[in-house]
Amino acid sequence: MTPALAVHDLRLLIGGAAVVDGVGFAVAPGEVMALVGESGCGKSLTAHAIMRLLPDAVRQDRGYVALDGDNLSVLSERQMRLVRGRRMSMIFQEPQAALDPLSTVGAQVAEGTGSPLRQARAAVLAMLDEVGIADPARRIDQYPFELSGGMCQRVMIASALIARPAVLIADEPTTALDVTIQAQILDLLRRLAIERGTAIVLITHDMGVVADIADRVAVMYAGRIAETGDTAAIFARPRHPYTALLLAALPRRTDVPRSRLAVIEGRVPAPSEFPTGCRFAGRCPLADARCRAETPLLREVARGHLSACWHAEAVR
């Protein structure tokens, strides 16, 4: 089956530094794929590269994106605009800021249909209902300031999905929301992925969110994919030291109260200081001379489970 979205060997440069290097993954229809990593690991830039809306300072010198098998890099900017919002949509952190304060809920959701609200009203009402907004007939004519953050995110999701895109990119969609609302929004995304067959790329730094809804996960570190595979397999047995340390850093109910939280020592190197070899070597308990000299490539360590570590088998 053709994946809904396939990213091939993406490389993004800022100045001379490869801030995203060799990133590739595929998402099937109805599947939720999580892209996890710390701030600055390149996950948001990857998302922008998929939409082909990179900041001016970033240059893509390798790789391409395929949507339903169509290579997007051959499209003109005009054709690409027809892809955005119709075949591929994106939602953001801070839903309240992502809605135009001077435009009604209905008008903004209707924008995805390409026709004015007068004509699209029935479709907009149905979509608002589908994303779980109570009393859509009243909400449709309200302005964003009259809505809560969770409701704004539902409106964003409605406006992103009304044109039935094959792919939804969700960039930290729940980071700005409180925990109960976060769970509701994740449930909603999960449900929409299954019901509508939408492939979802979920960008997050929160392993808890990944565990909640992702079918598969790609862990990124310093612009490269460290490990990728089924969520269950990775949580059961991580095959990259970075993933293992991330999981160990999750606070658990069984932790001794007031004990120190587990941390990963050191910090992510700046793009200008990326080392040769494995970029995680400087913080890795397993690193040896080979790690510092040779870049480990992704290799299959179990069925469908890939790790970019020379010592994948030794990870505990």
Partner 1 sequence: MRPRVSFGIRVIVLLIVLFAAAALLAPWISPHDPLRQSLLLRLKPPGSATASAGLFPLGTDDLGRDLLSRILYGARASFIVAILSVSVSLVVGTLLGLAAGWFRGWTATLIMRFVDAMLSVPAILLAVLTVAVIGPSFVTLVLVLGLTRWPRYTRVAYAATLQVAGLPFIAAAEMAGADSARILLRHILPNIAGPLLVVATSEFGLMILFEAGLSFLGLGIQPPAPSWGSIMSAGRQYVERAWWLTVFPGLGLFTLVVCVNVMGDWLRDRLDPRSAGR
How far is residue 222's CA from residue 225's CA, in Å, rounded to a whole number? 8
Instruction: Supply the DSSP symbol for 84.
Output: B
Q: Which sign, positive or negative, has the C-alpha torsion 309, 311, 312, 315?
A: negative
Strands 88-91 and 167-171 come out as: parallel
Nearer to partner 1, 141 or 300 (CB): 141
| Among the residue ranges 91-99, 202-210, 238-246, 295-303, the one whose residues contact partner 1 (CB under 8 A) | 91-99
Residues in the interface with partner 1 (CB under 8 A) total 25
Closer to partner 1 by CB, 177 or 234: give it. Answer: 177
CA 83, CA 4: separation in Å to the nearest integer? 13
Query: Which residue number, 176 or 234, has a Cβ lying nearer to partner 1?
Result: 176
User: Is 275 buried (19+), middle (13-18) or exposed (0-12) by CB count in 10 A?
Assistant: middle
Task: Establish if 62 lies at the interface with partner 1 (CB under 8 A).
Answer: no
**Of the residues 82, 194, 232, 293, which one makes contact with partner 1 according to CB under 8 A:** 82
95-114 positions binding partner 1, by CB under 8 A: 97-103, 111-112
Binders in 38-57 for partner 1, by CB under 8 A: 51, 53
CA atoms within 13 A on the CB side of 221: 28
Counting contacts by CB under 8 A, is residue 85 touching partner 1?
yes
CB atoms near residue 229 (< 10 Å)? 24
Of residues 145-164, those binding partner 1 (CB under 8 A): 156, 159-160
Closer Cβ to partner 1, 10 or 109, answer by number: 109
CB nearer partner 1, residue 100 or residue 255: 100
Residue 27 interacting with partner 1 (CB under 8 A): no
Of these, 90, 225, 246, 315, which contacts partner 1 (CB under 8 A)? 90
CB atoms within 10 A of CB 44: 19
- DSSP 3-state assignment of 39? coil
Q: Which residues pair with 14 in a beta bridge?
A: 17, 58
Q: Which residues bind partner 1 (CB under 8 A)?
A: 51, 53, 81-86, 89-92, 94, 97-103, 111-112, 156, 159-160
